[in-house]
Amino acid sequence: MTIAVTGATGQLGRLIVAALKTRAPGETLVALVRDPAKAADLGIEARRFDYDTSPEAELEANLAGIDKLVLISGNEVGKRTAQHRRAIDAAKAAGVGEIIYTSLLHADHSPLNLAEEHVATEAMLKASGIPHTVLRNGWYAENYTGSIGAAIEHGAVIGAAGAGKIAAAARKDYAEAAAALPRALAIRAKSTSWSPTSPGRWPIMPPRSRARPARRSPM
């Protein structure tokens, strides 16, 4: 199985590649990046994959032979819908087997302005007909730890959450989840109890026997 990761030199991408090396040993890994030279330290094949400047033919060619594509959402707010469309179109043309996309927690009803592009991408994935799994990632804990210096300086953690509650996790945790999926999905596809007519459903395992010991007759 060949697994490709977009944005593989980014903060999340590097963690996913590292996790895949542990969780999917023996599988072929490919880094899809804007500048392959910057991916040399990853120790895997790197292919140029620039959402904005790569010609369609290059995007398609560099997705050739990919079984599972981990599509990490772009980091340029306002441009991601168009960027993701190019990636998904190229994946369909190249015959990519399955896409794993990093979306946003509660994207379909989140009030965050970030949600719109994720919802659009999820819709494009559905319309593409490519089997896909959507990971609705929550807030990164690093978004807080990165501002510790400023919080100490001002004596407060400043934000606009009001009475809202946030469940955060480290990028490494989200990376481990993404890296666990390619093999799990491959196993699911081979399961005789799973049907492709039920997308998004995991294999239903046969129920365990609940037989109870026979009652002893009263003396």
Residue labelled with tokens 């009030």: 111
Q: What's the Cα-to-Cα distance from 202 to each of 49, 124, 185, rounded to whole Å? A: 31, 22, 9
pLDDT tens per residue across span 124-168: 999 999 999 999 999 899 988 888 888 899 898 777 777 777 778
Same domain, residue pair 77 and 183 = yes
Is 196 inside a domain boundary?
Answer: no
Is the same domain home to 67 and 44? yes
Residue span of the structural domain in which 148 resides: 141-169
Question: Cα separations (Å) of 29 from 32, 58, 80, 179, 182?
Answer: 10, 19, 24, 11, 11
Residue 210 lies in a domain: no
Residue 198: inside a domain: no
> Is the overall model pTM greater than 0.85, yes or no?
no
The torsion angle over the Cα atoms of residues 105, 110, 111 and 115, rounded to 10 degrees, is 70
- Per-residue pLDDT of 8-17, as tens digits, reads 999 999 999 9
- Residue 119 CA to residue 37 CA, distance in Å, equals 33
100 in Cβ contact with 70 (< 8 Å): yes
